[in-house]
């Protein structure tokens, strides 16, 4: 990978290309001021990194349909059993 005029040029395909692409995206997000919007999913079984597109940067899950639903159901069951949250 090399950087020309602030833009990252990707390496050849394969594992090296995948890592180079990831590093180029991290560099782009950092220079664009979007780094703070990259977050890890709050679901301990997931932990995917996602881009928080919410207006106030309050997103917690990579997908509301999957991880958000699972985590809210867990919290509901925990509250109904009277178990303290972790």
Instruction: Provide the β-strand partners of residue 7.
Output: 4
Residues 50/62, Cβ–Cβ less than 8 Å? yes
Give the Cα separation of 25 and 7 in Å (integer).
10
DSSP letter assigned to residue 33: T
Both tokens of 49, joined, read 């990194």
Regarding pTM above 0.75, the answer is no
Give the Cα separation of 40 and 30 in Å (integer).
16
Per-residue pLDDT of the chain (86 residues; tens, 9 = 90+): 566 676 766 556 677 777 877 888 888 888 888 788 889 999 999 989 888 888 898 899 898 888 999 999 999 999 998 866 66
């Amino acid at each position: 990978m090399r950087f020309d005029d602030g833009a990252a040029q990707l390496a050849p395909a394969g594992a090296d290309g995948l890592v180079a692409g990831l590093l180029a995206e991290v560099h782009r997000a950092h220079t664009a001021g979007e780094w703070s919007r990259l977050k890890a999913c709050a679901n301990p079984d997931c932990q995917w990194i996602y881009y928080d597109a919410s207006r106030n940067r309050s997103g917690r899950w990579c997908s509301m349909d999957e991880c958000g639903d699972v985590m809210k159901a867990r919290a509901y069951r925990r509250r109904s059993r009277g178990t303290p949250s972790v």
